[in-house]
């Protein structure tokens, strides 16, 4: 492959771009107001060339944000051609059907200027704690109930606040301080990235990054197509059920190769539903591509080029390609589940590269009500179950996969909200047995100190269907949502509880990988000593403890 850049220079410039994207993300996290962004890391940041192609992304970030942003930048440029963009502008939207799939995710784009002309864009997407409407919940009946829709607009105009946009947002959210604060954190992150890019171009005497982006994107596309050509022939099908809302939902997939292109086709998947767990096609594509890339081409950088060899199809009007105004606020419940489905098909083609099932869907707990003094509050915290075991390693415990979002520290949750956590620990016996054990879920017991009743909006999954073990491994434990008396609470939707009422979340554990009888006695004994597995369950599932 001929190149306009010597290898050493290409490596230097590539790493500098990665550093710029990472600095952008770190600035955003350090200046954000909400714990969702600051502590959980529910964001993504990336650099784009002037053609709207993603060139590099930050290490921090979720596939649902960065992969949708990579495909969604073109909508910003369709609305605002590059000649209509001035220094100091900041573009904004939360269109769930063209961007990250839910109204709570705001995407903000900062143009970078050098030598009097636009030379690229810095974009970030992060989850806002509130966007009005009924609040973050799975039980809205259409997207209009789910909150404020921000069309593609300018949040800043030549460095000045667009007062009308600002006022519309501020007036329609319950927590304007956090929402506006996070938007300005995105602005700050983009401005830092823009300054650093200008310094880079000046240092290396470059007019822009267009030739560099061509080089990076072409190399990435070539590498992925080469990996796709090595993918086995055949049509690999898999189907399974997600918990759904009121009843389970069927998701079907077929993965196959066409020359140097890999197709992921969800034909046969159930139709969309009238609750907010539908997944717009952009989000379906984001997590499907992520799953395929993890198995087929994990070492290739994530950018425009690495997406081009993949095609994701889903029937229009289905759960994975709903038609506006179908509700989508809790699209992550099904969206995070998609790698599980795609892995089920890929396991037939490349069995040793596919892990066992993980808890998958991030458990989102949204609480709202009145604090002392009748001040309204709205707060969300995220919790992670166990990852599935891999061919050579146990699954990670209380770790979010595939989103990568972090658990927020108990001290942080309690310091910024009325939530009080009474118990938080790893869930013994929740990891599926296998040659390598599934990661453990966690047990969280909490209450809310509110002025009168408060509303719990749960967005939980893997209650009906436990994470599946693979290659002979056993399933992980299913999840549960319980009240103080041990009764079952709804896993999705809103329920009103009395002040001080306690709720217990039992998060799922990951599935096991390989025959449990192949696990060493020493590893089993260590699990027992650490409290990961009880001796009685070890005897049941492994058939041995101690020296065996």
- Sequential pLDDT tens for the chain (548 residues): 557 899 999 999 999 999 999 999 999 999 999 999 999 899 999 999 999 999 999 988 899 999 999 999 999 999 999 999 999 999 999 999 999 999 999 999 999 999 999 999 999 999 998 999 998 889 899 999 999 999 999 999 999 999 999 999 999 998 899 999 999 999 999 999 999 999 999 999 999 999 999 999 999 999 999 999 999 999 999 999 999 988 999 999 999 999 999 999 999 999 999 999 999 999 999 999 999 999 999 999 999 999 999 999 999 999 999 999 999 999 999 999 999 999 999 999 999 899 999 999 899 999 999 987 788 888 889 999 999 999 999 999 999 999 988 888 999 999 999 999 999 999 999 999 999 999 999 999 999 999 999 999 999 999 999 999 999 999 999 999 999 999 999 999 899 999 989 999 999 999 999 999 999 999 999 999 999 999 999 999 998 886 54
Helices (H), 109-209: 163-172, 176-203
Residue 374: predicted pLDDT: 81
Contact 392, 353 (CB under 8 A): no
Q: Does a structural domain hold residue 299?
A: no
Q: Does a structural domain hold residue 342?
A: no
Q: Does a structural domain hold residue 378?
A: yes
Those residues whose C-beta lies under 8 Å from the C-beta of residue 164, and which sit 6 or more positions away, are none
Residue 179: predicted pLDDT: 96
Domain closes at, from 186, 220, 254: 220
Residue 361: predicted pLDDT: 83
Q: Does a structural domain hold residue 128?
A: yes
Residue 60: predicted pLDDT: 84
Give the C-alpha separation, 90 to 88, whole Å.
7
* Residue whose pair of structure tokens reads 């919940």 in the numeric block: 137
Residue 548: predicted pLDDT: 45
Q: Does a structural domain hold residue 532?
A: yes
Scored b (16 or more CB within 10 A) or e, 175-207 reads: beebbbebbbbbbbbbbbbbebbbebbeeeebe
Residue 406: predicted pLDDT: 86
Domain closes at, from 220, 249, 267: 220
Total domain count, the chain = 2
Q: Does a structural domain hold residue 181?
A: yes
Those residues whose C-beta lies under 8 Å from the C-beta of residue 347, and which sit 6 or more positions away, are 238, 354, 470
Give the C-alpha separation, 5 to 55, whole Å.
16
Residue 546: predicted pLDDT: 66
Q: Does a structural domain hold residue 536?
A: yes
Those residues whose C-beta lies under 8 Å from the C-beta of residue 103, and which sit 6 or more positions away, are 94, 96, 131, 133, 143, 146, 147, 148, 149, 328, 329
Residue 246: predicted pLDDT: 86
Domain closes at, from 220, 251, 285: 220
- What is the rounded end-to-end Cα distance, in angstroms, of the chain? 57
Give the C-alpha separation, 77 to 46, whole Å.
16
Question: Whole domain around residue 388: which residue ranges?
Answer: 363-548
Q: Does a structural domain hold residue 470?
A: yes
Those residues whose C-beta lies under 8 Å from the C-beta of residue 413, and which sit 6 or more positions away, are 35, 381, 419, 421
Cα 264 to its chain centre, rounded Å, is 19
Residue 2: predicted pLDDT: 57
């Amino acid at each position: 492959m001929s190149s306009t850049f010597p290898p050493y220079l290409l490596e230097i410039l590539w790493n500098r771009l990665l550093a710029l994207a990472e600095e952008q993300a770190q600035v955003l996290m350090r200046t954000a107001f909400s714990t969702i962004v600051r502590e959980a890391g529910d964001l993504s940041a990336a650099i784009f060339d002037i053609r709207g192609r993603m060139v590099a992304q930050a290490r921090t970030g979720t596939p649902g944000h960065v992969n949708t942003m990579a495909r969604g930048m073109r909508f910003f440029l369709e609305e605002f051609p590059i000649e209509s963009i001035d220094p100091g502008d900041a573009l904004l939207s939360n269109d769930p059907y063209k961007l990250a799939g839910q109204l709570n995710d705001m995407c903000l784009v900062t143009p970078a200027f050098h030598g009097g002309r636009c030379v690229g864009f810095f974009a970030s997407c992060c989850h806002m704690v509130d966007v009005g409407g009924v609040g973050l919940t799975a039980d809205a009946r259409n997207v209009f109930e789910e909150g404020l829709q921000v069309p593609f607009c300018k949040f800043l105009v030549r460095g000045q606040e667009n007062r009308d946009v600002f006022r519309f947002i501020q007036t329609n959210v319950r927590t304007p301080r956090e929402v506006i604060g996070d938007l300005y954190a995105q602005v700050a992150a983009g401005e830092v990235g823009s300054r650093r890019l200008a310094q880079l171009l000046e240092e290396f005497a470059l007019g822009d990054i267009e030739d560099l982006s061509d080089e990076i994107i072409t190399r990435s596309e070539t590498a992925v197509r080469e990996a796709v050509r090595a993918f086995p022939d055949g049509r690999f099908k898999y189907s399974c059920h997600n918990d759904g809302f009121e009843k389970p939902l069927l998701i079907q997939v077929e993965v196959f190769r066409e020359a140097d292109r890999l197709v992921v086709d969800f034909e046969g998947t159930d139709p969309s539903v009238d609750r907010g767990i539908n997944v717009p096609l952009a989000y379906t594509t984001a997590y499907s591509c992520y799953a395929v890339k993890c198995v087929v081409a994990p070492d290739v950088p994530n950018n425009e080029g690495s997406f081009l060899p993949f095609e994701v199809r889903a029937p229009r009007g289905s759960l994975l390609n709903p038609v506006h105004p179908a509700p989508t606020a809790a699209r992550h419940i099904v969206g995070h589940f998609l790698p599980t489905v795609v892995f089920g098909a890929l396991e037939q083609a490349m069995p040793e590269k596919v892990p066992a099932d993980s808890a998958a869907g991030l458990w989102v707990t949204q609480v709202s009500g009145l604090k002392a003094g009748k001040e309204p509050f709205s707060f969300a915290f995220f919790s992670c179950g166990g990852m599935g075991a891999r061919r050579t390693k146990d699954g990670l415990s209380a770790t979010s996969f595939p989103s990568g979002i972090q658990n927020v520290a108990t001290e942080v949750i309690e310091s910024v909200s009325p939530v009080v956590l009474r118990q938080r620990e790893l869930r013994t016996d929740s990891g599926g047995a296998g040659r390598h054990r599934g990661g453990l879920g966690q047990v969280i017991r909490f209450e809310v100190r509110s002025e009168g009743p408060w509303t719990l909006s749960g967005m939980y999954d893997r209650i009906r269907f436990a994470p599946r073990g693979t290659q002979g491994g056993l399933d992980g434990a299913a999840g549960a949502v319980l009240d103080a008396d041990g009764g079952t609470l709804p896993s999705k939707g809103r329920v009103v509880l009395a002040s001080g009422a306690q709720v217990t979340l039992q998060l799922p554990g990951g599935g096991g990988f390989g025959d449990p009888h192949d696990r060493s006695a020493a590893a089993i004994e260590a699990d027992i000593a650490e409290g990961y597995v009880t001796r009685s369950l070890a005897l049941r599932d492994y058939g041995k403890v101690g020296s065996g």
